[in-house]
């Protein structure tokens, strides 16, 4: 009986890691590809209206956090992103469901997307500006990585409302 429980736990851990890393990779690659496109196609032109004023493409380099909060704090935000990635790696083996694996995969992919900009884009290592390029009315300009993190927040609210805990209480100790 104990071996069966251990096997199930191992199988769940493998599924969680596959889901988490698969989602993270998909978000990271999509974010990177769209930012490369945005730099080449949007950086030297004005706003492009896709659905009138409802949805526009508008290129900006953001030195702050989401919603242009804390401009100029890129190095602090870079280290915060690294801490978030370490936290995800630490808690991922304790996840209780694939739903929470999707949440952490979305967060990991989003953090990796923006952290990649902070590491490799100008003005320098861990101080690079994040490429944002999508705009909705009355909403700051954002990117795929930002969207993934927001979607993760909504999914986590749904999972919490459905009383699906992210990790078992005994594993918090």
Q: Is the dihedral of CA 108, 18, 133, 57 positive or negative?
A: negative
Structure tokens at 42: 């949007």
Which has the closest alpha carbon to 107: 155, 60, 40, 63?
A: 155
- State the catalytic residue, choosing from 3, 31, 117, 132: 132
Angle between the 98-120 and 74-91 helix axes, to the nearest 10 degrees? 150
- State the catalytic residue, choosing from 3, 31, 117, 146: 146
Which has the closest alpha carbon to 16: 125, 167, 144?
A: 167
**Is 3 assigned a catalytic role?**
no
Q: Which residues are catalytic?
A: 132, 146
């Amino acid at each position: 009986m104990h071996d069966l429980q251990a096997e199930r736990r191992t199988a769940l851990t493998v599924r969680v890691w596959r889901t988490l890393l698969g989602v993270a990779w998909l978000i990271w690659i999509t974010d990177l590809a769209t930012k490369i496109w945005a730099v080449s196609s949007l950086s030297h032109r004005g706003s492009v209206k896709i659905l009138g004023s409802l949805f526009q493409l508008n290129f900006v380099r953001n030195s702050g956090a989401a919603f242009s909060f804390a401009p100029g704090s890129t190095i602090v935000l870079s280290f915060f992103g690294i801490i978030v990635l370490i936290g995800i790696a630490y808690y991922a083996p304790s996840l209780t469901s694939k739903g929470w694996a999707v949440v952490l995969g979305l967060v990991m992919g989003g953090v990796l997307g923006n952290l990649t900009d902070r590491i490799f884009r100008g003005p320098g290592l861990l101080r690079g500006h994040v490429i944002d390029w999508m705009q909705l009315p009355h909403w700051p300009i954002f990117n795929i990585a930002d969207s993934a993190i927001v979607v993760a927040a909504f999914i986590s609210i749904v999972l919490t409302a459905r009383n699906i805990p992210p990790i078992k209480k005994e594993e918090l100790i």
